[in-house]
Amino acid sequence: MKHCKFLFSLFLALFLHGCTTVGFHRNSIRETHDFGKLSQIRVCVWKDENVSEERMRNLFEIWNEELSLYKLHANISNVRKWNRKGWTGGAIMEELYESRMPPECDRIFALAGFKFSDLVFEIGQIILALFFIPTYQILGAVDSPTGTRGYILAHTSTLGHLLVGGASSTMVHEGYHLLGCGHGFFLSDCYEEIEKLKKASDSEKAKQYNFLPALNPEGGFIYDRREINLLFLGN
């Protein structure tokens, strides 16, 4: 009985790596939405020094397979060589929050490489599981106010990450957040949000500023990247 409890606790701790989801597909509902014509998402990529070019390309190919459902395509506008700082995702997000949106990009996305701290965290999870204390590792994140910047752990380097589908699955998951989707059991609400985004991106205002609209924390969309920079940087 104790052995069963241990296995359950261990599984729970590892499963909670990906306890939240943007939802499962409902094809019949998605097909009722009009996603208009093909639109591009221009992404500035921060590529960690130990993430290969091939790995980066593969992750974007997987994301683009999902985006094709909505007549969207993510293009890598530029690649910044980057060295992941800190021990947690909070340090990555803090750095992203302090970064200006470049004129050639609609979103900023960091591909964080493996660090020894990731392994240490998983060992800590297993130890805490012995005492029935569930924990979870943040495998990726996107800013909630605008959905314009985020990151993933680009290597599937721990058992917990593997159990929830690895870096490829996380890439798709965070990709939905970059489109303004929240969490849910099904993607029904997300389809509606993406349809709104597509219509906004085809507006004269979006074309004027040459920017894929982003969520406005006060409602609606932000069409000018200068407003995004003002929101995050104050100038």
**CA dihedral sign, ordered 144, 147, 151, 154:** positive
> Would 74 be classed as within a structural domain?
yes
Inside any domain, residue 3: no
DSSP annotation string for 82-146:
E---SSSHHHHHHHHHTSPPPTT-SEEEEEEPP-HHHHHHHHHHHHHHHTT-------EEE-TTT
Does 133 score more than 60 pLDDT? no
Please indicate, yes or no, whether the overall pTM of this predicted structure exceeds 0.85.
Answer: no
* Amino acid in position 26: R
Q: Which domain holds residue 83?
A: 38-233
Calculate the average pLDDT of the chain: 84
Domain contains 209: yes
176 inside domain: yes
Residue 174 inside a domain? The answer is: yes
The answer to the question of residue 19 being in a domain is no
CATH number at residue 147: 3.40.390.10
Does residue 132 belong to any structural domain of this protein?
A: yes
Domain count, the chain: 1
pLDDT tens for each residue of 208-231: 999 999 999 999 999 999 999 999
pLDDT digits (tens, 9 = 90+) for 79-127: 999 998 877 788 999 999 999 999 999 999 999 987 656 555 555 555 6
Top-confidence residue, 108 or 50: 108
